[in-house]
Amino acid sequence: MFYPGRGAELAECVQEMLATAVAGTQSGTPKVLIVPHAGYSYSGPVAASAYCLLHAQRQSIKRVVLLGPAHRVYLAEMALPSALSFATPLGEVPVDREAVTAALTLPGVIVSDEAHAAEHSLEVHLPFLQTMLESFSVLPVVVGQCSSERVAALLEAFWGGAETLIVVSSDLSHYLPYAEARSTDARTTELILQQSSDLSGEQACGAYAINGLMRVARKRRLWVEALDVRNSGDTAGDRSRVVGYGSYVLG
């Protein structure tokens, strides 16, 4: 539903998006990416604008802490899977089971395979990561309606060093007319650049994860750059009801 189901076709699709992506201007090393999670024909080019920054870290990144919102089930916590790996047409990505065990000692963290079973907000990022990184494991976290303090605590626990990349999955506004969406997403982008922890779900479906991330960003004095902010009216045509997408980098 979200990307090609055959490995060769998927690999070619991802490579084409990365080849045409517009890179950012920051010279620092990315520590965090905020990236959209719709079907590749809609948000893939915007996501590629963030993932193309990882060339220099291809061998150094060994773990990706991947957070995305829950779309399919109600969730008041952060959910981890019991699975040993995630599979895409490009191969399997191992789940960092040691990190899962440690994360389960934190408040608000549970195991829920139901939360992961039909969830796309994490999976759609894996082919980009498989293309850009040499070898890595993933700590996959579906984030429900939990406090920014709890999200921040999880991120701090697994922040790590150069071996760890944080990826937060989120789209922006949903189903607004094109001009209204552009205005709304511009305001949301300003809040992200200000490292605000007050985003709502109407501004970004990944607001709970972003709000927690920004608590850590302020504490660690990270810089943030907006890389690419567009919507489905720019990438897939119809402008009557669009979904907003934004890619951002922090380091």
Write out pLDDT tens, residues 104-153: 999 999 999 999 999 999 999 999 999 999 999 999 999 999 999 999 99
Tally Cβ neighbours within 10 Å of residue 15: 12
Is the pLDDT reported for residue 38 higher than 90? yes
10-37, pLDDT tens digit by residue? Answer: 999 999 999 999 777 766 899 999 999 9
Domain contains 120: yes
Residue 16 has a pLDDT of 97
13 part of a folded domain: no
pLDDT at residue number 22: 79
Q: Is residue 12 part of a domain?
A: no
pLDDT digits (tens, 9 = 90+) for 186-200: 999 999 999 999 999
Contact (Cβ atoms closer than 8 angstroms) between residue 206 and residue 122: no
Would residue 193 count as lying in a domain?
yes
Query: Is residue 2 in some structural domain?
Result: no
Rounded alpha-carbon distances, angstroms, from residue 99 to 79, 117, 157, 212, 220 = 13, 20, 9, 19, 22
Whole-number pLDDT of residue 26: 66
Residue 226 belongs to domain spanning: 28-250
Q: What is the mean pLDDT of the chain?
A: 97
- What are the tens digits of pLDDT across the range 220-245? 999 999 999 999 999 987 999 999 99
Q: How many domains does the chain have?
A: 1
Q: Give CA–CA dist 122/129, Å, rounded.
A: 11
Reported as a pLDDT band with limits 50, 70 and 90, residue 210 is very high
| Cα dihedral across residues 223, 174, 123, 113: positive or negative | positive
**Model confidence pLDDT, tens digit, residues 53-100:** 999 999 999 999 999 999 999 999 999 999 999 999 999 999 999 999
pLDDT of 27 reads 67
Mean pLDDT over 166-178 rounds to: 98
With respect to residue 3, please indicate whether it lies within any of the assigned structural domains. Answer: no
Residue 20 counted as domain residue = no
pTM, entire model: 0.97
Kindly state whether residue 16 falls inside one of the protein's structural domains.
no
Q: At what angle do helices 148-157 and 207-219 cross, to 10 degrees?
A: 60
For residue 231, give the CATH number of its domain: 3.40.830.10
The answer to whether residues 107 and 66 touch, using CB atoms and an 8 Å cutoff, is no
Check residue 28 and give its pLDDT.
Answer: 81
